Structures are given as C-alpha cells and as structure tokens.
Structure 1
C-alpha cells in the first residue's frame, strides 16, 4: 500500500470530528489511493476523510485528567470515523496507547520502538528520543 504522510500542525481532517468539526493529529498517514480519489479542490482544504493512521503526542499542556481525557476522546473520534490505527504517545509515562480500528485501546509501556503491523508494512517508530524528552 502506498502511503501519503502528513505531519504539519495545520493539517486537519473534516470527517473526523463527532460533530463534523476538523481534527488535527500531530502526525498522520493517508493511503495514496484514498488521497488520489479526492477531487483537487478537496485536497486544497481540510480533506473530507479520516486518516488511516494517526499519532497524538501528549505534551505538558495535556497533563492532568482533563488533558488526557480530551486526547482519548479525540482518539475515539478518529477510531469511530474510520482510522485504522492510532497511537497516543505518553512520554511522561513512557507508554503508548494503541487504538485499533475497533475495540479497546491497549496500553504498552517501556517500549524501545513501535511497529504498525502488516497493514502498514515497514512502519516503525523509534521511541527513545520521545521518551528522553
């Protein structure tokens, strides 16, 4: 599968918010086929799709129950709107919540790297720098 990567803070997706709002992940991947299926006009603004993979990175501003609760709501919105895989990175805890296409997220701790699996063959995220801050 060919993938198109997006990682700009200004990249948002119009089909992810539960109320039609635009959500902007810290990083994302969209299959090239899905991207090319959009009309040129749709590509120039916030595309009307949810990415295939999203990554959210908890930061100091996300500390406390309200911050993590909001990030988890955002991950659930991605999941319910078609994202096939989500990673919520929690650097202060050296943990990752893996959000599959359906079902409950799984918490993984003290990983050195994270692989996306067969759906995103070869995609591997090294976590040492993230954990180091």
Structure 2
C-alpha cells in the first residue's frame, strides 16, 4: 500500500477534462485523488485508522456547528472542488456560506463544484510531508471566496492558520482553535484531534 502520494504526470496531449477527471474519481472511490493546476494527478491511499478517526472528529465538530449555525454547509474529505487555477482539491473538511453554494447549478453541486470553500481544514497524516500541504493551503488562500484555513500537524501539535492577505500564523499545542469572524462560534476542541 502507498504510504505517500503517487504523482502521475500526464502528457499535455492526454489531459483530462473536468468531466473525465470526475469519472476517474468515481470508478476509483477507494482512493483519494486530486489534480493540481498543471494536470499532475496525486493518488493517495485511504488514511490509516487513527488519522481517519481524528478526521471524523473534526468533521463531526464542524457538522454539528454548521447544523446549529445554519448559514452554510459543511463537507467531508471525499468532496472535490475545482479551483480557478484548474486544480481539483479535496480538503479534509470544509465549509461554505449558503449564499455562495446556492449560486451553483444543481449539476455543479452534484459533481466537483467549481468554487473554493470559505473554510478548509487539512489534517496531516503521519506519512505526509509539511511542505506540499503548506503549498496546497497557499493555493486555497489565493482563491476568491477563501476566508480561513487550518493545517493541522498532529505530530508536532501545531496548527497553521491561513487568512487572505495575512502572514501564516502558527499555534503551538492549542487546546482549541476558533473560527474567528468567518465561522462565528465554531471552536475546534483539539483534545479530540491530538
């Protein structure tokens, strides 16, 4: 089994359309597949049980808050989004304001939505390298609509916070992380993540 992403480079003459990429992902549901802006495909195996549990805890907390708040919808790690660069990404957890979500057609909502979430979370697996995930977070940050992102490094107990137009902030071993003004009242309990 793969322990880190397998990167497949596609010749320019063989690049897939968004529809073809969506179909590739549908017939390979056991794999986490993303495509960067140059068309390279990253294939990641399912996460280990411990990381999967921690990711589920994050999604649970975000979903509970989103249900209570009612101003947007939350998504799991199996949700794909097409960014303006053409990259197709699947954050470990994400949230979007309903007013932005409702601008999409029903067909766009059923496939990989051509929009960047307002809020994304990436949770590092033990086999992940920090640099590629930091680059992915910077990619999200450069997108219209993006407001807040957290990169969680469980190994070093750090949370990197990404906001548009601001330097990246790093919290060391926080007990909680707040959603600020973007997700008012959302506080992630890190004891469920560490």
TM-score (norm 1): 0.88
Whether 1:96 and 2:159 are equivalent positions in the alignment is yes
Query: Which of 71, 74, 83 pairs up with 2:136?
Result: 74
Q: Tell me which moved more, 84-93 or 101-110.
A: 101-110
Q: Which has the higher contact order (CA 8 A, sep 6+)?
A: 1
Count residues in correspondence.
124
Q: Which residue of 1 aligns with 2:96?
A: 30
What are structure 1's unaligned runs of at least 5 residues? none
Q: Which residue of 1 aligns with 2:74?
A: 5
Q: Which residue of 2 aligns with 1:126?
A: 189
Superposed CA deviations along residues 50-81 of structure 1, whole A, max 9, x for unmatched, are 0000000011120xxxx211000100000001
Whether 1:84 and 2:153 are equivalent positions in the alignment is no
TM-score (norm 2): 0.61
- Poorly superposed stretches of 4+, deviation over 3 Å: none
Q: In 1, distance between residues paired with 2:182 and 2:193?
A: 24
Structure 2 SS opposite 1:10: coil
Q: In 1, distance between residues paired with 2:126 and 2:176?
A: 22
RMSD (CA atoms): 1.3
Superposed CA deviations along residues 66-121 of structure 1, whole A, max 9, x for unmatched, are x2110001000000013110000011111100001222211011210011112211
Whether the 8 Å contact between 2:148 and 2:164 is mirrored in structure 1 is yes
Q: In 2, distance between residues paired with 1:121 and 1:129?
A: 20
What are structure 2's unaligned runs of at least 5 residues? 1-69
